[in-house]
């Protein structure tokens, strides 16, 4: 998928290859382009902060435990669960599933395990039902 992304820092539109990957984000990329991230990392105050983090393992552990805290986890989940994020994901999955190589591999999988369309529909229904149950827990 090669599309243009707008950097939220410099505001320029750039190909997604110029953005670092970030699997925690819905679109899979960081918000700032690589050039902006580099400029940020090289700021004297940020460099000093990163150095102090490197020098102090307990500071690092503290930062990590903050990111892993229930509040932060809930915030990350809320970000992923926003209606527009869900719509983006749905659109992405639709485009992904429409790719010929993905279609071919899905068809090969169904054939290999001799899965009928009925069995597939049943499994899919069961999956979404289970997902709904676990999400409401
Ligand atoms: Zn930028």
If you measure from the C-alpha of residue 8 to the centroid of ligand 1, how many angstroms do you get, rounded to a whole number?
Answer: 7
If you measure from the C-alpha of residue 32 to the centroid of ligand 1, how many angstroms do you get, rounded to a whole number?
Answer: 5
Per-residue pLDDT reduced to its tens digit, 34-60: 999 999 999 999 998 888 878 888 887
Report which of 32, 27, 134 is spatially closest to residue 87, judged by C-alpha positions. 27
For residue 103, give every residue at least 6 positions away whose Cβ sits within 8 Å of its Cβ, in sequence order, or none: 97
Rg (CA), the chain: 21
If you measure from the C-alpha of residue 12 to the centroid of ligand 1, how many angstroms do you get, rounded to a whole number?
Answer: 6
Rounded to 5 degrees, what are φ and ψ at 82?
A: -60, 145
Per-residue pLDDT reduced to its tens digit, 16-26: 999 999 888 88
Tokens of residue 114, six digits:
């001799």
Domain range annotation of the chain: 1-42, 57-98, 100-137
pLDDT band at 135 (very low <50, low <70, confident <90, very high): low
Per-residue pLDDT reduced to its tens digit, 97-128: 899 999 898 888 888 888 888 888 888 888 88
pLDDT band at 31 (very low <50, low <70, confident <90, very high): very high
If you measure from the C-alpha of residue 40 to the centroid of ligand 1, how many angstroms do you get, rounded to a whole number?
Answer: 10
If you measure from the C-alpha of residue 13 to the centroid of ligand 1, how many angstroms do you get, rounded to a whole number?
Answer: 8
If you measure from the C-alpha of residue 79 to the centroid of ligand 1, how many angstroms do you get, rounded to a whole number?
Answer: 22
What is the rounded average pLDDT for all residues in the chain? 86
């Amino acid at each position: 998928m090669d599309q243009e992304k707008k950097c939220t820092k410099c505001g320029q539109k750039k190909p997604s290859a110029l953005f670092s990957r970030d699997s925690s984000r819905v679109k899979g990329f960081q918000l700032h382009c690589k050039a902006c991230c580099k400029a940020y990392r090289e700021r004297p105050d940020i460099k000093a902060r990163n150095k102090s983090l490197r020098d102090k393992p307990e500071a690092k552990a503290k930062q990590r435990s903050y990111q892993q805290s229930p509040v932060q986890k809930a915030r990350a989940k809320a970000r992923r669960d926003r209606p527009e994020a869900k719509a983006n994901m749905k659109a992405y999955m639709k485009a992904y599933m429409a790719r010929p190589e993905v279609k071919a591999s899905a068809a090969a999988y169904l054939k290999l395990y001799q899965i009928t369309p009925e069995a597939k529909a049943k499994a899919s229904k069961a999956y979404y039902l289970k997902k709904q149950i676990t999400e409401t827990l």
